[in-house]
Amino acid sequence: MESVISRAVKDISREELENLKREALKKALFRRRATKLALTGMNLLMALFLLLPLLYAVSIALMPSSELFTMSMNLIPTTPTLDNFRQAMVKIPLTRFIVNSFVVAGCITAGQIISCSLAAFSFSFLDFKGKNLLFMLVMATMMIPGEATIISNYLTVSGLHWLDSYKVLIIPYLTSAMGIFLFRQFYKSFPISLYESARIDGCTNLRFIYSILIPLTKSAIGAMAVYTFINAWNMYMWPLLVTGSDKMRTVQIGLGMLDSVDSQSISMMIAGVVMIIVPSISVFILGQKQLIRGMFSGAVKG
């Protein structure tokens, strides 16, 4: 049977057909490019709108105070200066605070990844009595707000003479129910036959974790690391309560110290903020691929 296309082609010449094809392609290409351009423009506008507070903060940090307190709207500094950063560094030992925050956040991240992944491994791969009950108990701890236990925790650590030390900042946060839950969810989508195969191949549980599980759940670990690091970096209440000396303060407390009544300078404070958000933004930018992949792993088949 003659097809519709071959019948239509018969009625026009070859050249006409070529022209028609070329025109149709041109139109389609124009439509595609126009859509892409419009979308990119909208995305750029939205990004600018969302990033405006951050960009304005950077701008203020580079602005002398005289430029900030004027009647005109100064979005961009006319005479950019690093004085605010210098002042912030002099006013408080910010370098020490940043180092402290790095040590604390780094140790908490490492500790949580190790403890949570091991706990989640037991809940996902091992079979023992009361497994579900224990898991529910762990999950139940998520229902208690941190503020409710902060006094009793304070009394415990002060009883142990841990106050004003790295120990007190790190040890209470070495594991988290949320971390265990997240890892368990990742492991649930892990094929159990790989674990069984590894066991028959002669693997112990630890060898399996080290040789198979960790390399195959890198994205989950990355996501967890970024999430934990940022949370630990932003901790405020606990470090404020358990540290007293400048030696042990973290950056978030340091930032509060810039806001004293006798030396209030908005531009200096913003310079401090810019300095301390740089590490957490860097961690996010470096780990965002892992974070997104980890957060959505198992959401779609692939």
Partner 1 sequence: MASLSLVNVCKTFKNGQVAVKDFNLDIRDQEFLILVGPSGCGKSTTLRMIAGLEEISSGELWIDGELMNLTDPQKRDLSMVFQSYALYPHLTVYENMAFSLRVRNVVKTEIDQRVRKAADVLCISHLLDRKPHALSGGQKQRVAIGSAIVREPKAYLMDEPLSNLDAKLRTQMRVELSKIHKELGATIIYVTHDQVEAMTLGTRIVVMNSGVILQAAEPKVLYQNPVNKFVAGFMGSPSMNFIPVWVERREDRICVEFSKNRLFVNEECAKRLIDGDYVSRRVYLGIRPEDLHETGLKDQELKLNVEIKEVLGSEILLHGKIGRSQVCARLKPDFSSEAGKEASIFADMSRILLFDMDTEENILYR
Q: How far is the CB of 216 from partner 1 (least distance, A)?
A: 6
Helices 266-296 and 14-61: crossing angle in degrees, nearest 10, is: 140
In the bound state with partner 1, the residue whose beta carbon lies nearer, of 23 and 201, is 201
If one asks whether residue 130 binds partner 1 (CB under 8 A), the answer comes out as no
If one asks whether residue 216 binds partner 1 (CB under 8 A), the answer comes out as yes
Q: Total binding residues for partner 1 by CB under 8 A?
A: 17
In the bound state with partner 1, the residue whose beta carbon lies nearer, of 86 and 188, is 188
Instruction: Spell out the residues 6+ positions from residue 198 whose beta carbon is closer than 8 angstroms to its own.
Output: 207, 208, 211, 212
Is residue 209 within 8 A of residue 117, CB to CB? The reply is yes
Q: How far is the CB of 125 from partner 1 (least distance, A)?
A: 12
Q: Which residue reads 């579900």 in tokens?
A: 132
If one asks whether residue 215 binds partner 1 (CB under 8 A), the answer comes out as yes
In the bound state with partner 1, the residue whose beta carbon lies nearer, of 96 and 199, is 199
Element (H, E) at 136: helix 131-140
Query: Interface mask (CB under 8 A) for partner 1, residues 172-211, using x and -?
Result: -------------------x-xx-xxxxxxxxx--x---x
Q: How far is the CB of 136 from partner 1 (least distance, A)?
A: 17
Instruction: Spell out the residues 6+ positions from residue 174 whose beta carbon is closer than 8 angstroms to its own.
Output: 107, 108, 111, 112, 115
| C-alpha separations of 178 from 175, 230, 293 in Å | 9, 14, 18
In the bound state with partner 1, the residue whose beta carbon lies nearer, of 101 and 217, is 217
Q: How far is the CB of 201 from partner 1 (least distance, A)?
A: 4
Stretch that binds partner 1, among 56-64, 88-96, 111-119, 212-220 (CB under 8 A): 212-220
Q: How far is the CB of 191 from partner 1 (least distance, A)?
A: 7
Q: Rounded CA gap, 169 and 251, in Å?
A: 13
3-state secondary structure of 61: helix
Q: Rounded CA gap, 241 and 231, in Å?
A: 17
Considering only residues 273 through 292, tell me which ones interact with partner 1, judged by CB under 8 A: none
In the bound state with partner 1, the residue whose beta carbon lies nearer, of 159 and 215, is 215
Query: Interface mask (CB under 8 A) for partner 1, residues 31-70, using x and -?
Result: ----------------------------------------
In the bound state with partner 1, the residue whose beta carbon lies nearer, of 53 and 215, is 215
In the bound state with partner 1, the residue whose beta carbon lies nearer, of 66 and 193, is 193
Q: Rounded CA gap, 142 and 176, in Å?
A: 9
Answer for which of 212, 241, 266, 292 binds partner 1 (CB under 8 A) is 212
| C-alpha separations of 40 from 43, 44, 52, 53 in Å | 5, 6, 18, 21
Q: Rounded CA gap, 171 and 242, in Å?
A: 12
Q: How far is the CB of 135 from partner 1 (least distance, A)?
A: 16
**Nearest residue to 184 via CA among 148, 217, 230, 147:** 217
Q: What is the sign, positive or negative, of the torsion defined by CA atoms of 199, 201, 204, 209?
A: negative
| Contact residues for partner 1, defined by CB under 8 A | 191, 193-194, 196-204, 207, 211-212, 215-216
